[in-house]
Amino acid sequence: MTKPKNIDVLKQLENLFDYLFSIGQIVAVVSRSQENAEKFAATFDIPKSYSSYEKFAADADIKIVYIGSAYTEHVRLSIQMLNAGKHVLCEKPLADTLKDVKLVHNLAWEKQLFFMEVCRINKNVALPIYAACVRNEKITTKTTQDRIKEEIISKNIGEPQMVSARFFLNFNYCERIKTQIRAGMLLDAGIYTVQFACLVYGEYPVSVKAVGEVVQSGHDIDGCIILSYSKGQKACLMYSSNVKSNTNCASIHSTKGSIELKDHFWCPEEVILSTGKETNKIPVGPVPFNYPNSGGLCYEAEEVRKCINSGKTEYAHYSHKDSEMVHKIMENVAKQIGRKLPYEK
Amino acid sequence: MTKPKNIDVLKQLENLFDYLFSIGQIVAVVSRSQENAEKFAATFDIPKSYSSYEKFAADADIKIVYIGSAYTEHVRLSIQMLNAGKHVLCEKPLADTLKDVKLVHNLAWEKQLFFMEVCRINKNVALPIYAACVRNEKITTKTTQDRIKEEIISKNIGEPQMVSARFFLNFNYCERIKTQIRAGMLLDAGIYTVQFACLVYGEYPVSVKAVGEVVQSGHDIDGCIILSYSKGQKACLMYSSNVKSNTNCASIHSTKGSIELKDHFWCPEEVILSTGKETNKIPVGPVPFNYPNSGGLCYEAEEVRKCINSGKTEYAHYSHKDSEMVHKIMENVAKQIGRKLPYEK
């Protein structure tokens, strides 16, 4: 077998930033602090750095902006960048109200620009297919979202009946909220579990029941949610800031079998499908990431690139409608548990 | 090392009925049908068989009765046997109302006889300890319930914050309820998940939220329950009659670590504790069991024997109060989901 021509692309998959550079150019970084912007640019070899969001938005070289600021700035910055004609991938949570989520979506639609709230797209590398791809000299592996949807549509596992997902962290949330702008655990971690249930069932639940602890600041620090759907299907979701666990799995339990996304389910290295175990390749970064398996974000970048190149303004597996469904559920939960974030309008 | 004297007892642990005979004598079996009683007696080498519950109750050789009838007979038979001066181990669910559960408990207390609703006590064989026991020529291994309580009290895993448990079956419940007397999935399977939460938290929850499908006959066929406790701890429980799964696990997620009871959690062969993995020895029977790992019931028999021999009328880890707590929660759930069993008064 001769060496595949695209072996470099495969190699680049091992490094998030190499990969980002391989599919486009990282043009500029912006921060309120010029010092921070320059430091970031130097670390990741980015040509331009800004401390003015206006000047950044006016840079004609920039086609798409990834917003990873404090969550309270997500809506304002999304609007600013969309108004400047940029496509936007915004870190979750886009907003703490459904109203604000819709505001941004409507603007993106009006401007016919790509917009997506981050939903942790991951590549699901089926090993035999992967080997075949190398031989075919192209990468055709699918995202985890694609594979799950395929499994559900094919009815290989029968009809999904129960979904479970849990996201536990142990990072002293009550201390963090004193110095950091945090959105509460529902919006910080619970959102992934809600996104997962929505991916599986694809409709708004007929019933939402939730509990959660709300501390004096108004932040919620944990929660459990039960969602019930039109055909009697259910989802049981759990999240906490005060649990040490390495079993943050998500699973779909169906009439003929199960699908399981192993810890960390939002960026899993292992997925159990009806066809057996599949493993994910998670790229590393040039410096350590703040959160586990963040290198997997390259797959999100790749999907966004494909959408933009093909003129799509939304991602099929996490459309504006999907994102709004997730936020509508979370708004319902927030109301039930009495959450009132310090920054909520 | 010389061969331990009690090696036969260890060997007997491999067979449920050998074990039962080793700790006492199975005296008699009773069934409405003389033919069935005789067949059962012949299969398991039991000296006497009855088709009259009155004559069975009058047999002075019988000290303790295990009631494994249709659940609708549990209360009536428990009362009959207690009134005849027998200790009783009754299959779950003891009853479909808390009122009936209390009725039986009060009678047992009045008569000062041992009474327990089955709660699947399992032996947790810590392998190094087990080896040591063989050398010490006695079996001192602990039940899973003991080990979990020890872990919680020792705070090895910190403070429990979240409990999860799921019990999924795929056995065409909607067909079965047409010909069999069934108690609905909450009382058939959900009870184990509720028992588990009660074992961990040991108090009545401050909030119970539940959903469940109720079919035309009035039976519930699945459900999800969230329990919230006084210090903000929570439990998320799931059960279904329509799911094929081999991931029926239960876990305790705490501030410093987790405990996990692997599939099938109510009779696990593997438990992950703070100290590592421990494996259970599940005895087989002389004929195949109807349900997985039923050989583990020998451990329940052993605990009951120890209680009776030491003059106790309740089992410490599943007292009458504990059983009533479980039924009180289930009564709350049944009301929320609108269950109405055909046999409920």
Q: pLDDT value at position A22? A: 64
A262 or A20, greater pLDDT: A262
> DSSP state, B87?
E
**pLDDT tens, position by position, B119-159:** 876 655 433 223 222 333 334 467 888 888 888 999 999 99
* Residue A250: predicted pLDDT: 95
- Average pLDDT over every residue of B214-242: 97
Judge whether B130 and B141 are in contact, CB under 8 Å. yes
- Whole-number Å distance between alpha carbons of A265 and A192: 9
Nearest CA to B130 out of B114, B141, B138, B121 is that of B141
Residue A10 has pLDDT above 60, yes or no: no
B267 vs A1: which has the higher pLDDT: B267
Q: Which residues contact A169 (CB under 8 A, 6 or more apart)?
A: A189, A240, A241, A243
The tokens for A287 are: 């410096």
* B122 vs B70, higher pLDDT: B70
Mean pLDDT of chain B: 86
Query: Using 50, 70 and 90 to split pLDDT, how confident is the model at A278?
Result: confident
Q: Are B196 and B250 in contact (CB under 8 A)?
A: yes
Q: Is the pLDDT score of A212 beyond 80?
A: yes
Indicate whether A123 pLDDT > 50. Answer: yes
More confident residue, B226 or A7: B226
Maximum C-alpha span of chain B: 65
- Residues 6+ away with beta carbon under 8 Å from A215: A174, A177, A221
Mean pLDDT of A47-52: 95
pLDDT of residue A23: 64
Q: How far apart are CA A96 and CA A340, in angstroms?
A: 10
User: CB burial class (10 A; 0-12, 13-18, 19+) of residue A153?
Assistant: exposed
Whether A211 sits inside 8 A of B224 (CB atoms) is no
Q: What is the DSSP letter of A188?
A: I
pLDDT in tens, A163-185: 999 999 998 898 999 999 999 99
Angle at B289 between CA B343 and CA B143, to 5 degrees: 90
Q: Which residues of A touch B161 (CB under 8 A)?
A: 222, 240, 242-243
pLDDT at A7 over 70: no
Contacts of A299 (CB under 8 A, 6+ apart): A121, A122, A123, A143
Which whole number is the average pLDDT over B275-301? 79
pLDDT at A205 over 90: yes
Are A113 and A84 within 8 A, CB to CB?
no
Query: Which residues of B fall within a CB distance of 8 Å from A243?
Result: 161-162, 253-255, 258
Instruction: Read off the DSSP letter of residue B264.
Output: S
Is A191:A92 a contact under the CB 8 Å cutoff? yes
Three-state SS sequence of B83-94: HCCCEEEECCCC
Task: Identify the three-state secondary structure at position B343.
Answer: coil
Distance CA B331, CA B102 (A): 13
Q: How far is B217 from chain A (nearest CA, A)?
A: 16
Angstrom CA distances, B154 to B46, B159, B250, B274, B317, stand at 44, 10, 20, 11, 17
- Best to test chain B binding among A209, A214, A233, A253 (most B CBs inside 10 Å): A253
- Taking alpha carbons only, the member of A324, A270, A332, A263 closest to residue A117 is A324
pLDDT confidence band for B84 (50 / 70 / 90) = very high
Is the per-residue pLDDT at B60 higher than 80? yes
Q: Residue B242 and residue A207: Cβ atoms within 8 Å?
A: no
Q: What is the pLDDT of residue B328?
A: 98
DSSP 8-state symbol, A27: -
Å from A136 to nearest chain B CA? Answer: 37
- Most B CBs within 10 Å: which of A245, A262, A277, A332, as the mutation test of the B interface? A245
Cβ contact B238–A236 (<8 Å):
yes
Give the H/E segment covering residue B279: strand B276-279
Mapping DSSP to helix (H, G, I), strand (E, B) and coil, where does residue B342 land? coil
State the average pLDDT for chain A: 86
Q: Give the distance from residue B232's alpha carbon to the nearest chain A alpha carbon, in angstroms.
A: 6
Question: What gap in Å lies between CA B340 and CA A327, rounded to an integer?
Answer: 35
Interchain proximity B162–A238, CB inside 8 Å: yes
Task: Write the ipTM.
Answer: 0.89
Q: How far apart are CA A334 and CA A232, in angstroms?
A: 24
pLDDT of residue A125: 41
Residues of A in contact with B170 (CB under 8 A): 255
Separation between Cα atoms, residue B262 and residue B202, nearest integer Å: 22
**Most confident among A133-137, A171-175, A280-284, B18-22 (mean pLDDT):** A171-175
Strand partners, B279: B270
- Checking if the pLDDT of A73 tops 60, the result is yes
In contact, A59 and A48? CB cutoff 8 Å: yes
The HSE-up count of residue B24 (CA atoms within 13 Å, CB side) is 17
CA distance A185 to A337: 12
* Amino acid B276: pLDDT: 87
Q: How far is CA A103 from CA A65, A160, B71, in A?
A: 18, 33, 57
Packing angle of the helix pair A320-337, A191-201 (nearest 10 deg)? 130
Using the predicted structure, report yes or no on whether residue A60 has a pLDDT greater than 50.
yes
| pLDDT (tens digit per residue) in B295-344 | 777 778 888 888 999 999 999 889 999 999 999 999 999 999 999 999 87
Structure tokens given for A147 = 């594979």
Q: Which domains does chain B have, with CATH numbers?
A: 7-117 (3.40.50.720), 127-291+316-337 (3.30.360.10)
C-alpha to C-alpha distance for B164 and A164, rounded to whole angstroms: 10
Q: Decide which of A187 and A16 is more confident.
A: A187
pLDDT over 70, % of chain A = 87
Angle at B12 between CA B9 and CA B13, to 5 degrees: 95
C-beta of residue B90 within 8 angstroms of C-beta of residue B118: yes
Give, in order, the Cα–Cα distances in Å from B139 to each of A283, B24, B195. Answer: 51, 17, 27
CA distance A213 to chain B (A): 6
- What are the residue ranges of helices labelled H in A182-276? 184-185, 191-201
What was the pLDDT predicted at A16?
58
Residue given tokens 């401007």 in the structure block:
A111
Q: Taking CB atoms and an 8 Å limit, are A234 and B232 in contact across chains?
A: no
pLDDT average, residue stretch B177-205: 95
Per-residue pLDDT, B122: 66
Between chain A and chain B, how many beta carbons pairs sit less than 8 Å apart? 121
Amino acid code (one letter) for A210: A
User: How distant, in Å, are the alpha carbons of B106, B251, B262 from that of B258?
Assistant: 37, 7, 12
The residue with greater pLDDT, B301 or B260, is B260
